[in-house]
């Protein structure tokens, strides 16, 4: 079974031939110039650039929170603008060299603010969440590099289906909490809530394999250079999601003490 999602978040992480068809036509019409093609090293470099931008922006809202300046406006505003840039990039991957740094900047404002909120309530939680995210990333990268985990069509279908199920559950739970004053199960710190968080973290980690595969496929298919920014942006989206889920899980565990 083949899942072709129209979800902007998932589309932003897929290397669709339709998304870059025009760029490929121009690309193939020219003399082959390997400096203008997507590469692994180029994608790694651009991922590092996005990570530095995100960390730099995060320091702003983090500093605000610990200096008695309300960081909620840039935190919420950053999340909204970052989401808009992701959606635009899903339909305009050619603009990724401009949209990806912007995404990292505004997402960093959100990450810094939300991290500070968790840190104030649960001291030490941020460093643990960062460490857990880094370890998960390295383990997944190793499993993919040595082909211990193989990304085939069945694997992709299962991961995408699980991701869509999580997104649907979160959306319906949020709407129910607004309309019916309903408290979703995953909001608490009970075993069911912790179990849901663990499941979501597993699915987020599995999405890393899709990112690695898409980047590798993009290099093999000699995608245009701008796809390095596109691939780096998709990888950052997954890492941010994974980090936030680790924050939530650690907060639930800490609140039980």
Cα–Cα–Cα angle for 144, 146, 147, rounded to 5 degrees: 60
- pLDDT given for residue 176 in this prediction: 87
List the end-to-end C-alpha distance of the chain, in Å, as a whole number.
44
- pLDDT given for residue 37 in this prediction: 94
Residues in Cβ contact with 200 at an 8 Å cutoff, skipping those fewer than 6 apart = 166, 245
- pLDDT given for residue 182 in this prediction: 76
- pLDDT given for residue 39 in this prediction: 96
Beta bridge partners of 224: 37
Cβ(13)–Cβ(211) below 8 Å = yes
Instruction: Please give the Cα distance from 79 to 245 (Å, whole number).
Output: 15
Please identify which residue in the block is written with the tokens 């460490």: 131
134 alpha carbon, distance to own chain's centre: 13
Rounded (10°) CA dihedral 104, 107, 109, 113: -140
Which range marks the domain in which residue 196 is found?
Answer: 8-255
Give the total number of structural domains in the chain. 1
Instruction: Please give the Cα distance from 214 to 223 (Å, whole number).
Output: 11
| CA distances from residue 40 to 16, 46, 191, 212 in whole angstroms, order as listed | 18, 10, 41, 10
Tokens of residue 31, six digits = 């003399």
The answer to whether residue 23 sits within a structural domain is yes
pTM of the predicted protein model: 0.87
Which helix (DSSP H) or strand (DSSP E) does residue 255 occupy? helix 227-255
Cβ(109)–Cβ(65) below 8 Å = no
SS3 state of residue 37: strand
SS3 state of residue 224: strand
What are residue 228's phi and psi, to 5 degrees? Answer: -65, -45
The answer to whether residue 3 sits within a structural domain is no
SS3 state of residue 31: coil
Per-residue pLDDT reduced to its tens digit, 134-156? 999 999 999 999 999 999 999 99
The answer to whether residue 141 sits within a structural domain is yes
Per-residue pLDDT reduced to its tens digit, 209-231? 999 999 999 999 999 999 999 99
The answer to whether residue 2 sits within a structural domain is no
The answer to whether residue 1 sits within a structural domain is no
Cβ(8)–Cβ(87) below 8 Å = yes
Mean of the per-residue pLDDT values of the chain? 89
Residues in Cβ contact with 56 at an 8 Å cutoff, skipping those fewer than 6 apart = 108
- pLDDT given for residue 257 in this prediction: 61
Per-residue DSSP letters for 52-86?
Answer: HHHHHHHHHHHHHHTTT---HHHHHHHHHHHHHHH
Regions of the chain short of the pLDDT cut 70: 1-35, 257
The answer to whether residue 14 sits within a structural domain is yes
């Amino acid at each position: 079974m083949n899942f072709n999602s129209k979800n902007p978040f998932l589309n932003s992480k897929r290397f669709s031939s339709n998304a870059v068809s025009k760029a490929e036509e121009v690309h193939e019409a020219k003399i082959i110039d390997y400096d203008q093609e997507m590469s692994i090293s180029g994608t790694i470099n651009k991922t590092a650039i996005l990570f530095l931008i995100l960390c730099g922006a995060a320091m702003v809202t983090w500093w605000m929170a610990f200096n008695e300046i309300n960081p909620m406006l840039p935190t919420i505003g950053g999340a909204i603008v970052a989401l808009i840039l992701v959606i635009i990039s899903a339909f305009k991957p050619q603009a990724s060299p401009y949209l990806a740094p912007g995404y990292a900047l505004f997402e960093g404002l959100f990450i810094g603010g939300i991290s500070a909120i968790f840190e104030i309530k649960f001291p030490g939680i941020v460093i643990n969440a960062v460490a857990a995210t880094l370890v998960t990333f390295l383990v997944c990268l190793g499993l993919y590099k040595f082909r211990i985990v193989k990304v085939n069509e069945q694997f992709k279908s299962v991961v995408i289906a699980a991701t869509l199920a999580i997104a649907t559950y979160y959306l319906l739970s949020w709407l129910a909490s607004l309309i019916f004053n309903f408290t979703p199960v995953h909001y608490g710190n009970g075993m069911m809530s912790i179990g849901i968080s663990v499941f979501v973290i597993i699915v987020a980690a599995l999405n890393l394999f899709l990112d690695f595969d898409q980047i590798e496929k993009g290099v093999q298919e000699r995608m245009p250079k701008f796809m390095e920014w596109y691939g780096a942006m998709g990888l950052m989206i997954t890492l941010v999601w994974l980090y936030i889920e680790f924050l939530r899980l650690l907060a639930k565990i800490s609140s039980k003490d």
